[in-house]
Amino acid sequence: MPNIKSAEKRVRTTAKRSLRNASLRSALRTTLKKFETSLAQNDVEHARVALGIATRALDKAATKGVIHRNTASRKKSRLTRRFNTLNVAK
């Protein structure tokens, strides 16, 4: 346990932020999985909607500092590329 008052506050702050980051990361993974399942079912219309939601979630996570902005950009690019291959196949 910290003895200094500012260190005690840092422990509280870190715990609060860790909890928030974990929940945001979990929600992000859920939206990405929903997109993956719609791709697996070859449902183009549902995949289009899920791609928009996933892109927005990635941008929000990058803005909040949960993931790095380059990571978000890379994931968005890969998701869009996978959606486009499905769209061309139809």
The structural domains of the chain, with segments of one domain joined by +, span 5-89
pLDDT at site 66: 95
Write down the CATH number for the domain with range 5-89: 1.20.58.110
- The whole-model pTM stands at 0.85
Question: pLDDT tens for residues 35-90?
Answer: 999 999 998 999 999 999 999 999 999 999 999 999 999 999 999 999 999 877 76
Burial group, residue 34, by CB count within 10 angstroms (0-12, 13-18, 19+): middle
